[in-house]
Chain A
Amino acid sequence: MTAAPIVVVPETPENYLTAGYGVRSWLLTTDHKRVGLLYLMSITGAFFVGGFFALGVRLELLTPAGDLLRAETYNKFFSMHGIIMVFFFLVPSIPAVLGNFLLPMMIGARDVAFPRLNLLSWYVYMLGAGIITYTVASGGVDTGWTFYTPFSTLYSTSHVVSAGIAIFVVGFSSILTGMNFIVTTHRMRAPGLDWFRLPLFVWAMYATAIIMVLATPVLAITFTLVALERTLHIGIFDPAFGGDPVLFQHLFWFYSHPAVYIMILPGMGVVSEVIATFAHKRPFGYTYIAFSSVAIAVLGFLVWGHHLFVAGESMYGAMVFSLLSYLVAIPSGVKVFNWTATLHKASIEFRTPMLYALGFVGLFTMGGLTGLFLASLGLDIHVHDTYFVVAHFHYIMVGGMVMAYLGGIHHWWPKISGRMYPEAWGRVAAVTIFLGFNLTFFPQFILGYLGMPRRYWEYPPEFQVLNVLSTAGASILGLGYVLPMAYLIWSLRYGEPAPANPWGATGLEWQTPSPPPRDNFERTPVVTRPPYDYSGPEEEVG
Chain B
Amino acid sequence: MAEHAAAHVAHQFDDAEQQQAASELGMWIFLATEVMFFGGMILAYTVYRFTYPLPFAHASQHLDAILGGVNTGVLLGSSFTVALAVHAARTGARRLLLGALGVTIVLGGVFLAIKGYEWHHHYREGLVPGVRFIPTGPEANAIGLFFWLYFAMTGVHALHLTIGIGVMTVIAFLAWRGHFSPAYHNPVEIAGLYWHFVDIVWIFLLPILYLVGRHAP
Contacts and interface: CB of A to CB of B under 8 A. Distances in A.
Contact of A244 (B14, B51, B152): B51
Interface string A20-52: 000000000000000000000000000000000
Interface in B12-38: 12-14, 18, 21-23, 25-26, 29-30, 32-34, 36-38
Contacts of A224: 152
B11 interface: yes
Contact of B40 (A115, A222, A228, A243): A222
A206 B23 CA distance: 17
B25 A241 contact: no
A183 B18 contact: no
A234 B141 CA distance: 9
Contacts of B7: none
B32 A214 contact: yes
Nearest to B38: A221
A243 B145 contact: yes
Contact of A115 (B12, B47, B130): B12
B142 A188 contact: no
A112 interface: yes
B188 to A, nearest CB: 18
B144 A187 contact: no
B52 interface: yes
Contacts of A254: 40
A31 B202 CA distance: 39
A179 B47 CA distance: 30
A227 to B, nearest CB: 11
Interface in A374-417: none
B22 A187 contact: yes
A479 to B, nearest CB: 41
B41 A234 contact: no
Contact of A247 (B26, B32, B38, B44): B44
Nearest to B40: A221
B26 A241 contact: no
A517 interface: no
A113 interface: yes
B37 A220 contact: yes
Given A216-B33, A243-B145, A225 B44 contact: yes
Interface string A192-228: 0000000000000000000001111110111011001
Contacts of B2: none
Contacts of B32: 213-214
A235 B41 contact: no
Contact of A235 (B11, B131, B145, B152): B145
B73 interface: no
A344 interface: no
A319 to B, nearest CB: 21
Contacts of A234: 129-130, 144-145, 148
Contacts of A178: 29
Contacts of B25: 182-183, 186-187
B182 interface: no
A233 B148 CA distance: 10
A104 B51 CA distance: 49
Nearest to A239: B141
A228 B48 CA distance: 17
Query: B11, B18, B43, B148: which has the most chain A beta carbons within 10 Å?
Result: B148
Contacts of B149: 236
A222 B36 CA distance: 11
A113 B152 contact: no
A424 B160 CA distance: 55
A527 to B, nearest CB: 15
B69 interface: no
A235 B33 CA distance: 26
A503 B108 CA distance: 59
A242 interface: yes
B166 interface: no
B178 to A, nearest CB: 23
A66 B51 CA distance: 44
Given A114-B26, A225-B152, A232 B43 contact: no
Contacts of B12: 104, 109-113, 115, 188
Given A109-B12, A112-B12, A183 B26 contact: yes
B44 A251 contact: yes
B116 interface: no
Contacts of A218: 36-37, 39-40
Contacts of B41: 221, 225
A112 B160 CA distance: 27
A214 B11 CA distance: 29
A39 to B, nearest CB: 19
Given A232-B130, A236-B148, A251 B40 contact: yes
Interface string A100-112: 0000100001111
A380 to B, nearest CB: 24
Given A111-B12, A188-B22, A242 B36 contact: no
B43 A233 contact: no
Given A247-B44, A251-B43, A183 B144 contact: no
Interface in A222-275: 222, 224-225, 228, 232-236, 241-244, 247, 250-251, 254
Interface in B172-215: none
A524 interface: yes
A109 B12 CA distance: 7
Contact of B11 (A216, A220, A519, A524): A519
Given A213-B32, A214-B32, A235-B144, A228 B152 contact: yes
Given A111-B11, A187-B18, A225-B152, A232 B40 contact: no
A219 to B, nearest CB: 9
A500 interface: no
Nearest 8 CB-CB pairings of A with B: A232-B130, A221-B40, A242-B141, A111-B12, A217-B37, A217-B36, A187-B22, A234-B129
Interface of B: 10-14, 18, 21-23, 25-26, 29-30, 32-34, 36-41, 43-44, 47-48, 51-52, 129-131, 141-142, 144-145, 148-149, 152
17 contacts: A110-B12, A115-B10, A180-B26, A184-B22, A218-B39, A221-B37, A224-B152, A225-B41, A232-B129, A235-B144, A235-B148, A236-B149, A241-B145, A242-B145, A247-B44, A247-B47, A524-B14
Given A218-B40, A232-B129, 15 more contacts: A104-B12, A109-B12, A113-B23, A114-B22, A187-B22, A217-B36, A217-B40, A234-B144, A236-B44, A241-B145, A242-B48, A243-B145, A244-B48, A247-B47, A254-B40
